[in-house]
Amino acid sequence: MKALKLSLVVLYCIFGLCVFCQNNKSYLAEGLIEYHNLFYQGMKDSVACYRIPTVVTAPNGDLVAVIDERVSNCNDLNGNKNINIVSRISKDNGHTWSAIKTIIDFPFGKSASDPSIIVDNFTKELFLFYNYMDYTSEKDVYYLHVVKSNDNGQTWSEPVDITPQITKPEWHKEWKFMTSGAGIQTRSGQLLHTIDHVKRGVYIFGSNDHGKTWFMIDNPINPADESKIVELNDGSWMVNSRVNRAGNRYVYTSKNNGINWQSKADSNLIDPGCNAGFIRYTSLKEGDDKNRLLFANIKTKDKRQNICVRISYDEGKSWTEGKTIYSGSAAYSSITILNNSDIGLFFEKDDYKENVFVSFSLEWLSNGTDKYKKVNKINH
């Protein structure tokens, strides 16, 4: 009898453990329109890994997905002598994708990392930014480069070093870098993006002449790390920032083009300290039926897992609980609006082994409570 009881206890424990494992198993959301693993470890024998995903919708509607191709190892720029920038393009809202194209490939000892893109819908151009380091002459010195495409990401210009325009001379040997992901174009046509100076805070940089020249606003926000900016309907700017070890995001708003900032630690937007995606989806000012902002991040306080997308209907003052896209290991993400008004998300998955693109509708994201209505956009 004792042996039987012991056997039953063992079986109960095993069963309970299995149930526990099943309940904690990572899951991918059901109902996604597209799911594609665009870049992954083992894709090329000569490449250690792919990291830092970025996706935008080009002026012609193509999706341009850009990423670090880390050849020697998976380390970041300050520990890797061979990082290239590569891309894949989709012409059908993410259903099929091109072969990998190389955008930046310097000789060994010179690396490019952390891609980000601004789409200029006035001039129909793409501006691709990356951080650069030359191990052969100036190890640990960060330079900031930009290349331009006038054919929706098919080809790119030669690199231009804009470091002197958007940093200070005394920063030369200090740790500064442009945030990966995407910058924005305001309704007036101005281009805006963010630089992270590790010790001083986050600065806004941009262009008033469609990328011919660049400026930096010398008024940092702090605490802040990798940050995203949007223009609110009243013309003010909102910056949503990663802050390491805070357990949540910080939000900054300026009503005078970055001269003064109001700060808020947003306890509702929990975050473990990771880059995120933050964009406008619709705007009453542009003729849409509602104001909508989208925010994609890792919805935990201390672990890089559980990537979630939320909606704000009040210009970032509050957010829905959102929807988990993938509950397992995830990290950096980039979000874009597809040509058919669906939502595209490109994110790091499973301990940086995969970089997947998914798409879904607003109706799906809102659990049927909201649906995109096509309108005639107002031109400014």
- CB contact at 8 A, 230 and 241: no
Residue 20: its pLDDT value, please?
30
Query: What ranges in the chain are assigned the alpha helix state H?
Result: 2-23, 163-166, 362-365
Residue 275: its pLDDT value, please?
98
How long is the chain? 380
Residue 153: its pLDDT value, please?
98
pLDDT digits (tens, 9 = 90+) for 317-334: 999 999 999 999 999 999
If phi > 0 it is left, if psi is from -120 to 50 it is alpha, else beta; for residue 140 that is left
For residues 245 and 197, give the distance between their C-alpha atoms in angstroms, rounded to a whole number: 17
For residues 266 and 247, give the distance between their C-alpha atoms in angstroms, rounded to a whole number: 10
For residues 352 and 339, give the distance between their C-alpha atoms in angstroms, rounded to a whole number: 28
Beta-strand pair 181-182/110-120: parallel
pLDDT digits (tens, 9 = 90+) for 245-288: 999 999 999 999 999 999 999 999 999 999 999 999 999 999 99
Q: Which band of pLDDT confidence, cut at 50, 70 and 90, is reported for residue 13? A: very low
- CB contact at 8 A, 195 and 180: no
The mean pLDDT value of the chain amounts to: 94
Residue 24: its pLDDT value, please?
61
Q: What are phi and psi of 277, to 5 degrees?
A: -115, 140
pLDDT digits (tens, 9 = 90+) for 67-89: 999 999 999 999 999 999 999 99
Half-sphere exposure of 125 (CA within 13 A, CB side): 17
Residue 351 has pLDDT above 60, yes or no: yes
Residue 194 has pLDDT above 80, yes or no: yes
Residue 226: its pLDDT value, please?
98
Residue 221 has pLDDT above 60, yes or no: yes
pLDDT digits (tens, 9 = 90+) for 117-127: 999 999 999 99
pLDDT above 70 covers a percentage of the chain that reads 93
Q: Which band of pLDDT confidence, cut at 50, 70 and 90, is reported for residue 380? A: low
If phi > 0 it is left, if psi is from -120 to 50 it is alpha, else beta; for residue 14 that is alpha
Residue 202: its pLDDT value, please?
98
| DSSP for 276-302, written as a single string | -EEEEEE-GGGT-SS-EEEEEEE-SSS
- CB contact at 8 A, 297 and 271: yes
Q: Which band of pLDDT confidence, cut at 50, 70 and 90, is reported for residue 375? A: confident
For residues 154 and 124, give the distance between their C-alpha atoms in angstroms, rounded to a whole number: 13
- The CATH number of 34-365, from 2.120.10.10, 3.20.20.20, 3.30.530.20, 3.20.20.80, is 2.120.10.10
State the pTM of this model. 0.93
- CB contact at 8 A, 194 and 227: yes
Question: What is the gyration radius of the CA atoms in the chain, in angstroms?
Answer: 22
Average pLDDT over every residue of 149-153: 98
pLDDT digits (tens, 9 = 90+) for 27-67: 999 999 999 999 999 999 999 999 999 999 999 999 999 99
Query: What ranges in 109-161 are assigned the alpha helix state H?
Result: none
Residue 14 has pLDDT above 50, yes or no: no
Residue 138: its pLDDT value, please?
97
- CB contact at 8 A, 72 and 61: no
10 compared with 93, residue with greater pLDDT: 93
Residue 39: its pLDDT value, please?
98
For the chain, domain boundaries: 34-365
